[in-house]
Structure 1
Amino acid sequence: MPARDRPFLALGLRLAAMATLSIMLLLVKLAGTRGMPLPETMFWRQAIPAVLILAWLVSTRRMHLLRTARPWIHFRRAMIGTAGMFLTLGVVQILPLAEATVLGFTAPVFAVILSATLLKEQVGPWRWAAVVLGLAGILVIAGPDRGHVPLVGLATGIGAAFAVALVSIQIRDLGRTEQPLTVVFYFSAMSLPALAPFLVFTGINHDPVGWLILGGIGLSGLFAQVLMTAALRIGVVSSVIVMDYSQFGWATLWGWLVFGQLPPGTTWLGAPIVIASGLLIAWREHVLSRRRADAAATA
């Protein structure tokens, strides 16, 4: 069967990836409640995948997959990705899980803006309308009351979404020459030297539950990346990305079960607006990709 001819399996894998990712964010929030510094949490989030990937490559004699002619591009992606991860995991510790997750859904909005400014892509009225819609959704979620979404949390969430969009453009560029596993490994490995010094200042003295949380963060992060990569290998991006919005349901569930938090009315109003903007962008990308494919076939 062709690699990209299993759409229902791709949707299932992406759905499983979002559930796994929501577990990672839950564990990150739990780590914060236990007083674990964020840089230390990030170190183990990166170290465990790097070690496991390297061990798998050695055991299967596939070290050649790590060959690259673009080390500087990997390094740049790792540094920007590490800064983005700091914001992405940081907002989870500042805001309730549901609100932090919804703000992450604005990444496609910033991806459109960056595509127009950095890649000089032609952006038509449909995608610009989606950008305006997404920004309106943020304003609704913020609301007049700063009690549930403080300004620092809102700024961190928007910054995280912007960083994700910037990284997605870099990954699009790396994907032209590199294997997905190569990109994942170098991101994890190259970020470790920048994160390791924080262990000297924060210490690594944790009880068994703390170590289980840190191990769970690393493993769930790795599994989420593997599942997302697998979904993209057998499905179309514009189709499987729809499953990303299921993460809002998981975040709301974990927030209620573990922390006793339910989103206020402004979040329930703003979340569908933000999700609608992302779906509009995904739909438009699907239409444009089909047009490009038809034009190439005709040529």
Structure 2
Amino acid sequence: MSPLRGMVLKLSAVLLFVIMASLIKASSDVVPPGEAVFFRSFFAIPIILGWLVLRRDLSTGLRTRNPAGHFWRGLIGVSAMACGFAALGLLPLPEVTVLGYAAPILTVVFAALLLGEKIRLVRMSAVIIGLVGVVIVMLPQLGNESMGTSAKWGVALVLASAAFKALAHVHIRKLVQHETTSSVVFYFAVTATCLSLFTSPFGWVMPDALTASQLIGAGFIGGVAQILLTEAYRNAEAAVIAPFDYASILFALIIGYTIFDEIPTIHTLIGSVVIVGAGVLIIWRERQLGVKRGPARSNLTPHG
């Protein structure tokens, strides 16, 4: 293992995921979320296949003993991705990024309900703190009628995305007990591509050259980011590099301000600090308990 290499790979992956989200956001006025999911998933497949070939792991990556498990992981993941992409068209990039970090908090709750994991005082405190942070970020939309319904729909969609991502996290924890990381990565991209096609009757459009390049770029960048993320957890323990997820908030603030002229509200800044604190507390507690979830985490992203 090389912890420093793992940290660099993790930061690179996080930055690429934010860039991917920015490209999706830039195209959100032209294409519907389902179409964006198709481009994001389909154009990631060649990158993933190339990675498996270079690793001489193609046969392992294509082998599965649980196709139904991959289907359900794909369905949940596509739901998370579609809700998140829809939210990008309605809310500022930093706000979507911050609210998306409700997913690790909800994972603790779902793991207790679905997997029977115990929630003791520290974890319960982290969940409560994180939810307080979410409420702080949501206050401007919930308490200001002038914000309009689009912003409120955006909040609802990003929270739905976080809930679906949390369910995906829990499902992957079970899936990787018998499936390889390579197969989970590959079959998610394939399943997401196929499932996204079912949204084509709901308003798909022929994108112009600029929009198409943004969507294709999002797919390629997302595929590269997924590989870097997987390799990061191969080089360092999850507890060491998991906190670097929260660098995405800083990247989103910078890109949101420079590209989209989005100035974060004081509620977003305060809420992000509270949510990050809750997430770090969960990570610390898992490290104390010796919970090793590297294989599962390597398949997760901030945006589904």
- Worse-matched range after superposition: 57-66 or 47-56: 57-66
Q: TM-score, normalised by structure 1?
A: 0.89
Q: TM-score, normalised by structure 2?
A: 0.88
Identical-pair percentage: 31
- How many angstroms does 1:54 deviate by? 3.8
- Worse-matched range after superposition: 56-65 or 92-101: 56-65
C-alpha separation in 1, matches of 2:117 and 2:88:
32
C-alpha separation in 1, matches of 2:27 and 2:84:
14
Q: Which runs of 5+ in 2 are unaligned?
A: 293-304
1:49 alignment counterpart: 44
- How many angstroms does 1:207 deviate by? 2.5
C-alpha separation in 2, matches of 1:64 and 1:6:
24
C-alpha separation in 2, matches of 1:260 and 1:227:
29
Determine if contact 2:3/2:236 at 8 Å carries over to the other structure: yes
Asked if 1:94 corresponds to 2:90, the answer is yes
- How many angstroms does 1:151 deviate by? 2.3
Determine if contact 2:76/2:165 at 8 Å carries over to the other structure: no
Determine if contact 1:28/1:217 at 8 Å carries over to the other structure: yes
Determine if contact 2:47/2:224 at 8 Å carries over to the other structure: no
Asked if 1:21 corresponds to 2:17, the answer is yes
Equivalent of 1:67 in 59, 63, 66: 63
Cα shift readout 1:183-202 (whole Å, capped 9, x = no counterpart): 11111112223222444664
Determine if contact 1:49/1:185 at 8 Å carries over to the other structure: no
Matched to 1:74, the amino acid is: H
Determine if contact 2:11/2:244 at 8 Å carries over to the other structure: yes
Q: Which runs of 5+ in 1 are unaligned?
A: 292-299
Determine if contact 2:32/2:204 at 8 Å carries over to the other structure: no
Cα shift readout 1:77-104 (whole Å, capped 9, x = no counterpart): 1111111111122221211000000011
2:181 alignment counterpart: 180
Asked if 1:288 corresponds to 2:295, the answer is no
1:167 alignment counterpart: 168
2:144 alignment counterpart: 145
Asked if 1:126 corresponds to 2:99, the answer is no
Q: Which one has the largest radius of gyration?
A: 1
Paired residues, what number? 286
Cα shift readout 1:171-191 (whole Å, capped 9, x = no counterpart): 122222222221111111122
- How many angstroms does 1:123 deviate by? 1.2
1:297 alignment counterpart: none
Distance 1:176 1:128, change over 3 A: same
Distance 1:246 1:58, change over 3 A: closer
C-alpha separation in 1, matches of 2:57 and 2:267:
53
C-alpha separation in 1, matches of 2:11 and 2:53:
30
Cα shift readout 1:93-124 (whole Å, capped 9, x = no counterpart): 21100000001111111011011111111111
Determine if contact 1:133/1:274 at 8 Å carries over to the other structure: yes
C-alpha separation in 2, matches of 1:61 and 1:13:
20
2:298 alignment counterpart: none
Cα shift readout 1:28-72 (whole Å, capped 9, x = no counterpart): 100113x11211111111111224434665786833431111111
Matched to 1:139, the amino acid is: V
- Worse-matched range after superposition: 210-219 or 95-104: 210-219
Distance 1:199 1:145, change over 3 A: same
Distance 1:174 1:54, change over 3 A: same
- How many angstroms does 1:239 deviate by? 1.9
- Worse-matched range after superposition: 53-62 or 160-169: 53-62
- How many angstroms does 1:290 deviate by? 7.0
2:32 alignment counterpart: 37
